[in-house]
């Protein structure tokens, strides 16, 4: 089972450069086996061209390496905080994708301007507060996860309806059912970030509130796919 998990996480990580979400060694993907209490993650600083399934690192829920000869991603403690606090998170994806990172660097959430956004994310993609000097200097990566969780608690946002967050001055983190589908969601987030930026630029003289889609339309598009009475796609 661990070999299957490592293979899936390897494939998901390789999808990041394939979809131009990262360059160099940026970004990482992990997936958790909650029954075993173990998760697989990309090793730190390994170029994608050199990545193989056997190099994927397996960690326990204390962050200890239980399988693999390489160090796990430096963002591993961030992934761990998300797994511990968001029970719907079975995979975590972090990228430095261009457009989503532009929003993170600007310290701005991505408002829901249209149905493309609403099909996948229920409302604005939230932005965290700036981290304190103490949070940065001590346990930085773990505190990155904590500030994501804090954002959802303080905004009373459901991590099952909103499965992405922009870390201010850093970039996007997403979570989902499995590694592959969560990377696919990261591709969608990048496109949404691109469209939102251009929407604001095109209509910059208008009040931002007039650009936001109607709440009823947001509800319709999100809930027809993800609600209790969802009807989008093939049933049964």
Active-site residues, by number, are 119, 232
Tokens of residue 164, six digits? 């992405």
Separation CA 16–CA 5 (nearest Å): 17
Give yes or no for a contact between 229 and 223, defined as CB atoms under 8 angstroms apart.
yes
DSSP string, 166-227: EETTTEEEEEESSHHHHHHHHHHHHHHHHHHHHHHHHTTTS-HHHHSPPHHHHHHHHHHHHS
Its sign, for the CA torsion 144, 145, 150, 151, is positive
Separation CA 209–CA 197 (nearest Å): 15
Give 192: exposed, middle or buried? Use CB within 10 Å, 0-12, 13-18, 19+.
buried
Give yes or no for a contact between 186 and 93, defined as CB atoms under 8 angstroms apart.
yes
Report the SS3 class of residue 33. strand
CA–CA distances in Å: residue 138 to residues 49, 62, 83, 167, 173: 32, 18, 21, 17, 21
């Amino acid at each position: 089972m661990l070999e299957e998990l490592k293979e899936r996480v390897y494939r998901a990580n390789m999808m990041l450069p394939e979809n131009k979400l990262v360059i160099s060694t940026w970004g990482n993907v992990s997936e958790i086996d909650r029954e075993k209490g173990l998760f697989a993650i990309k090793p730190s600083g390994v170029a994608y061209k050199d990545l193989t399934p056997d190099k994927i690192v397996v960690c326990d829920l204390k962050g200890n390496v239980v399988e693999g000869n390489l160090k796990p991603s430096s963002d591993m403690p961030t992934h761990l905080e998300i797994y511990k606090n968001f029970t719907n998170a079975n995979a975590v994806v972090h990228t430095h994708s261009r457009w989503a990172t532009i929003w993170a660097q600007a310290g701005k959430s991505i408002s829901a301007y249209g149905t493309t956004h609403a099909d996948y994310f229920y409302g604005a993609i939230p932005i965290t507060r700036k981290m304190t000097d103490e949070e940065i200097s001590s346990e930085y990566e773990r505190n990155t996860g904590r500030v994501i969780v804090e954002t959802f608690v303080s905004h009373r946002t459901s991590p099952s309806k909103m499965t992405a967050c922009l870390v201010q001055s850093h970039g996007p983190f997403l979570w989902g059912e499995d590694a592959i589908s969560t990377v696919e969601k990261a591709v969608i987030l990048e496109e949404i970030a691109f469209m939102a930026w251009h929407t604001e630029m095109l209509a910059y003289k208008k009040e931002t509130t007039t650009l936001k889609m109607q709440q009823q339309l947001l509800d319709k598009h999100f809930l027809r796919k993800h609600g209790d009475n969802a009807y989008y796609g093939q049933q049964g």
